[in-house]
């Protein structure tokens, strides 16, 4: 019998993603994001989550996708990272999906650029493909470790340190 794994699913710019359920603290919407000057381009800002300051990472920017249209709603997917929680901005959240580990495949060859680097692999589901996001690599991009594009100067840990 194949082992199963559960993923929280979500959509970013029409692409279907999943993150291991064990890495997700919660999903929340409607929080005000405070921008941080000089932060890396992928860092959208900070949110106050019941007294905890959480860095918001824009997945569209990390994955080099189109900017979110003005006024389009978003959700904060709060996930555990090595140095605390971070918020990943997604367009919408789906269901928790249970998949067979035997169905895991390498990232599709059609994925190019940074998107390919941030995807651990994929699961073919009925009528769609779920790309498994590597949350630690996403945080690395926001920290400026995974790219040298000079699009910001303050990494995630430094951004949090700015808050008294």
Q: Which CATH number covers residue 35?
A: 2.40.50.180
Count of the separate structural domains present in the chain: 1
Q: Are 124 and 103 in contact (CB under 8 A)?
A: yes
32-79 tens-digit pLDDT: 999 998 888 899 999 999 999 999 999 999 988 899 998 889 999 999
pTM: 0.84
150-160 tens-digit pLDDT: 444 444 544 44
pLDDT interval class at 110 (50, 70, 90):
confident
- Indicate if the pLDDT at residue 20 is higher than 50: yes
pLDDT of residue 160: 46
pLDDT of residue 164: 45
- Token pair of 113, please? 């650029």
- CB-based burial, 13-33: b 16+ in 10 Å, e otherwise: eebbbbbbeebbeebbeebeb
Mean pLDDT of 107-136: 88
Q: Return d(Cα 160, Cα 57) in angstroms, integer.
A: 13
Which residue range forms the structural domain that includes residue 127?
4-161
- Token pair of 3, please? 């082992």
């Amino acid at each position: 019998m194949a082992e199963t794994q559960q993923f929280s699913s979500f959509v970013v710019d029409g692409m279907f993603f999943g993150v291991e359920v064990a890495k997700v603290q919660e999903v929340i919407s409607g929080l005000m994001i405070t921008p941080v000057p000089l932060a890396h381009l992928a860092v959208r800002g900070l949110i106050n989550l019941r007294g905890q300051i959480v860095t918001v990472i824009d997945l569209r920017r990390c994955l080099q996708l189109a900017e979110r249209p003005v006024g389009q709603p978003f959700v904060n997917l709060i996930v555990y990272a090595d140095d605390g929680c971070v918020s990943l901005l997604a367009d919408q959240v789906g269901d928790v999906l249970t998949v067979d580990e035997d169905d895991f495949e390498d990232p599709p060859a059609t994925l190019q650029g940074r998107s390919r680097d941030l995807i651990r692999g994929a699961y073919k589901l009925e009528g769609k493909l779920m790309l498994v996001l590597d949350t630690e690599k996403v945080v690395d991009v926001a920290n400026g470790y995974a790219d040298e594009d000079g699009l910001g100067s303050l990494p995630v840990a430094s951004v949090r340190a700015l808050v008294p």
